[in-house]
Structure 1
Amino acid sequence: MSIIDREKLVVVGGGIGGLATAIACIQKGMAIQLIERTPQYSHVGAGIQLGPNVTRILQAWGLGDALAKVAAYPKQLQARDARSGKVLGTLPLAGRAETLYGAPYVTVHRADLHRVLHKGAQVDGVGLWLGQNIRGWYEKPERVYVQTDGPQSIYASALIAADGLWSVLRRQMLVTDRPSFSGHLAYRAMVSQADLPAHLRSDQVTVWMGHRLHVVHYPVRGGESLNLVAIVHGKKPEQFQNWDQDADTRELMQSMGKVGRDLHERLASVPAWRKWALHNSPPLSSASEMVQGRVALLGDAAHAMLPYLAQGAGMAIEDAHVVAQCLSTDGQTVQEQLQAYAEQRWERNARVQARAVRNGQIFHARGLEAIGRNLTMRFMGERVMDVPWLYGEGPNP
């Protein structure tokens, strides 16, 4: 096996977290080699929400204008009862996020965000190596060696594993740790707003809450498209690692059971769905779960979370910003720099993981718990729907 000498940072995984890490680090003057398993980017995916804690970082990287061209700016977050259709509470977003937190709240198609990051990485000069499967790594005193399926091994000063939920590098670091099936299935769809009746079009984020289910929809692509995701309880599919499977409206409606007329009409207007089995990891319990020597985990590889706080991509981007800051700190070894990254990130990531799980329980409540939820949101809507510790805290660009 030949050795490729790269005295640089190697990032494994070309998704949002990996590209964000490459951009953040190269802007700090580091040489970056990014390795991605797929031979070419397909730019697929569903919609995602980016809070001001995330958009302020993207703006600091010089990506604010590119993001603005593809994002939507929802006017408010609205919570509704999935059966009665009643509005439970609202939280203004447009303008309010900038005033309180210094950056906007946006919704965007994942593929569009990926393109923005990919282009940013290319402009900044990140080395992209596609079509390479990573088998693992081994470490020596002065460097870490990254092993591929091919005849070559790469060595570098540090390795950042951003290879996602089923991370190969995480399995090597934490042998017994695996993401587990949450018991929830996500049905996702994207439709053109022009194809919907006027009363079904939307310029806001709406969350419908019901027993063992919830539905979220919001605009993307400048408001031209509507992203929908319906969460139900269900059994783990046989091919659970194939996270993107065909589904149809009839299957979804059977899984959801009885819902109100308004929600039923909205779901029935969508002709086709894609189904995901949702997996997550337990909240992090220490910094040691994110770093080992010259190797650090990032994003889903470090802290897979349920999407019920809309922060999966956001935490990966925050991770990227912090790891770049730490690796550019003078007077420390690489191991000390990566340890500092993990120490700064693990508790916040764990808090988001735990809050996402709790949100799922609140969304899916029944009986007295659901009544209490509805009353609380009705009388304290903005106060309980806003998350100041999430949007106002975190890394400061």
Structure 2
Amino acid sequence: MPAHILVAGGGIGGLATALALAGGGHRVDVFEQAAAFGDIGAGVQLGPNVTRRLSQLGLENSLARVAAQPEALVVRSAGSGAEIGRLALGAAMRQRYGAPYLCIHRADLHGLLLDAVRARGTGALVTGAQIERVELSDELVCVSSSDARAWEGEAVVGADGLWSVVRRRLDAASAGQPPRITGHTAWRALARQDALPPALRRGGVEVWLGPQLHAVAYPVRAGEWLNVVVIAESAPAGNAHDWDQASSLAALQAAAGRTGASLQALLEAMPGWRAWSLSDRPPLVSAAEMAHERLALVGDAAHPMVPYLAQGAGMAIEDAVALSEALGEGGSDAVPAAFARYAAARWQRNAQVQAKARRNGQIFHASGPVRLGRDLAMRALGERLLDQPWLYGG
């Protein structure tokens, strides 16, 4: 008999997990604390390691309709605007890794996953369910919500993000330890390309590096919109739990200072800004931090990371497919061993991505001699530094 699995969290990781497990014939109930399924934020970069998994989930054609496929990633100086390095994407990524490099709006990706889960129709989608308690026995799990509702199943997957309640049940030792506030703040803005001056429109991924800051711009929504993100080393703004704080260009500039003319023109052209404080946890050190018996974690619940490798959503999607592959069509009796195999297969890769994302933050935001050395190396080696075979081919 297929297993009955409860998934806490209806974001990208939770829905990808539900879709992958439903493909193995399992009944999967998803619990979302918000009143409706949806996502906030703007753009997501999907490397070929991620688009390959989404293709496994049957989303290749749907992705092609709503995502943008950039032809190149270009790295520039935030001061002068001069090109420092370049990585070919487009056909080069397909040829090298067998899958495309795509940019997509978070809401579009979330919508594709939600539609696919609904089409499967193998479980319940429950909204307004803020899970606050998880109980485990030898053969069953029970989750209960803040409004005194409860549900029973044979396994529970925590996809409930950075401030995961399910994680506290798995990892009692860190139950009272909040995520690390990094001291970095991100601002994002979104604009229609046809509303921008032609010189500011972008068809590829562009990255600007400056002391204590960097900016990224890339197309989403089939190339019709432009997503811009600026991350600066500044005091956290507002509530660290809030991923969607109202902000402004003035607040951004107060934290990051003025950039060079070309980047400054783009920032000033964007119609509105939202902000959030970046947090993470130390890289994983064992499989025990991802699963035990009938409980497993995916995505930020297990391994929250800073966005300097553009792989937060990607690792959650990889987790989802790996969890499904570990369980296969196994029933309730197979769950503990399958979850252990999943954690053993995933924890080291996730830890490596967490660590490299932290390291990238130091490199991106470098100043002085380190910045000069970075730029010289990038100009000399180009694609050899920017490509990530260990990541995209993994």
Q: Name the TM-score class by shorter chain.
A: over 0.9
- Amino acid corresponding to residue 211 of structure 1 in structure 2: P
Matches within 5 A, 1:156-235: 156-174=153-171, 175-235=175-235
Q: Equivalent residue of 1:250, what SS?
A: helix
**Aligned residue in 2 for 1:336:** 337
| Residue 115 of structure 1: aligned partner | 111
- In structure 2, the partner of 1:3 is none
Please tell me the residue identity of whatever aligns with 2:69: Y
Partner of 1:141: 138
TM-score by length of 1: 0.95
SS in 1 for 2:302: helix
Structure 1's 52 and 72: CA in aligned 2 closer, same or farther, altered over 3 A?
Answer: same
SS in structure 2 of the partner of residue 184 of structure 1: strand
Q: In structure 2, what is the equivalent of residue 362 of structure 1?
A: 363
The one-letter amino acid paired with 2:225 is S
Superposition deviation, residue 333 in structure 1: 3.2
Q: Which residue of structure 2 aligns with residue 300 of structure 1? A: 300
Aligned residues: 388
Q: Deviations over 1:9-34 (max 9, x none)?
A: 11110000000000000001111111
Pairing 1:92-111 to 2, within 5 Å after superposition:
92-111=88-107
- What is the CA–CA distance in structure 1 between the aligned matches of 2:39 and 2:305, rounded to whole Å? 22
Determine if the alignment matches structure 1 residue 60 to structure 2 residue 61.
no
Q: Please name the residue that 1:25 is paired with.
A: 21
CA contact (8 A) 2:205 2:216 kept: yes
TM-fit CA distance, 1:241? 1.3
CA distance 1:304–1:72, change in 2 (3 Å): same
% identical equivalent positions: 46
Gaps of 5+ in 2: none
Give the RMSD, CA atoms, in angstroms. 1.5
Q: Which runs of 4+ in 1 moved over 4 A?
A: 329-332
- CA 1:237–1:172 in 2, change beyond 3 Å: closer, same or farther? farther
Is the CA contact 1:7–1:155 (under 8 Å) kept in the aligned structure 2? no
Distance apart, 1:329 and its partner CA: 6.2
Tell me: CA distance 1:61–1:279, structure 2 relative to 1, closer, same or farther (3 Å).
same
In the TM superposition, residue 238 of structure 1 has moved relative to its aligned partner by 4.2
- Give the Å deviation of 1:165: 1.0
Q: Is the 8 A contact 2:71 2:89 kept in 1?
A: yes
**Secondary structure in 1 matching 2:222:** helix
C-alpha distance in structure 1 between counterparts of 2:107 and 2:330, whole Å: 36
Q: Which amino acid aligns with 2:251?
A: E
Q: Summarize the Cα distance change of 1:291–1:14 in structure 2 as closer, same or farther, 3 Å threshold.
A: same
Query: Letter of the aligned partner of 1:147 in structure 2?
Result: S
Q: Is the 1:171–1:177 Cα contact (8 Å) retained in structure 2?
A: no
Residue identity matched to 2:362? Q
Q: 2:66 aligns with which of 54, 70, 94?
A: 70
Give the AA of the match of 2:119: V
In the alignment, which residue of structure 2 is the partner of 1:48?
Answer: 44
Equivalents in 2 of 1:182, 1:60: separation in Å?
A: 35
Of 129, 134, 147 in structure 2, the residue corresponding to residue 132 of structure 1 is 129
Range moving further from structure 2, 81-90 or 140-149: 140-149
User: Aligned to 2:187, what secondary structure does the other structure show?
Assistant: strand
Give secondary structure in 2 for the equivalent of 1:28: coil
Q: TM-score, normalised by structure 2?
A: 0.96
Equivalent pair of 1:135/1:168 in contact (CA under 8 Å): yes
TM-superposition CA deviations, 1:262-321 (whole Å, max 9, x none): 111111111310011011111001111111221111100000001110000000000000
1:248–1:271 CA contact under 8 A, matched in 2? no
8 Å CA contact retained: 2:234, 2:256 = no
Cα distance in 2 for partners of 1:19, 1:367 equals 44
Structure 1 residue 134: Cα displacement:
0.9
User: Deviations 1:319-349 (Å, cap 9, x if unpaired)?
Assistant: 0000011112659731111111111000000
Q: In the TM superposition, what is the alpha-carbon distance from 1:7 to its structure 2 partner?
A: 5.9
Shift of residue 149 of structure 1?
Answer: 2.7
Further displaced range: 195-204 or 120-129: 120-129
- Displacement of 1:74 in angstroms is 0.6
Aligned partners of 2:236, 2:276: CA distance in 1, in Å? 10
Q: Which amino acid aligns with 2:393?
A: G
Q: Deviations over 1:204-261 (max 9, x none)?
A: 1011001000000000011110000000111123422122111111221222214211
Instruction: Give me the whole-angstrom Cα distance separating, in 2, the residues matched to 1:316 and 1:187.
Output: 23
* Separation of aligned partners in 2, 1:295 and 1:202: 43
